[in-house]
Amino acid sequence: MATDLDQTIITDEQAADMRAKLAAYERQKAYEAAQARHQLYLAVKPIVESDAFISIHQQLAELRANGPKDDSFFGIGVEAIYQGMTGLGINVAQWIAPMPPSSAEPPAAEGGA
């Protein structure tokens, strides 16, 4: 009992075309995700660069260095807040706008079979 699926054959050209389309789709989706992160960074950048943010970060650094290690700030560990603020500051400072996908062609395969 043969089905239509048993007799479906995909040529190498069709497979290559599907891989190219999939690669272009994946690049576009990655670009869209990067654009969403970019909008978030643009929104928080003024906060991260504000004097208040920097002051709080410095106060937490002093508290980390000189205060009790098990202290909490609003029920959250000082270390967690400090590390989060540090990471956010670094990410925002190093962020660059994403570039749109430049080609619908898949990247060249490296190596050989």
Kind of pairing between the strands at 72-73 and 76-77: antiparallel
Q: Helix, strand or coil for residue 47?
A: helix
Share of residues in the chain with pLDDT > 90 (%): 47
Tracing tokens 């290690």 back to the chain, one arrives at 69
* Cβ neighbour number for residue 60 with a 10 Å cutoff: 20
* Average pLDDT of every residue of the chain: 83
Share of residues in the chain with pLDDT > 70 (%): 77
Tens-place pLDDT, residues 32-59: 999 999 999 999 999 999 999 999 999 9
Region label for 100, one of left (φ > 0), alpha (ψ between -120 and 50) or beta (otherwise): beta
Q: Can you give the pTM of this predicted structure?
A: 0.59
Kindly state the tokens that stand for 99: 């570039």
Q: What is the mean pLDDT of residues 87-108?
A: 79
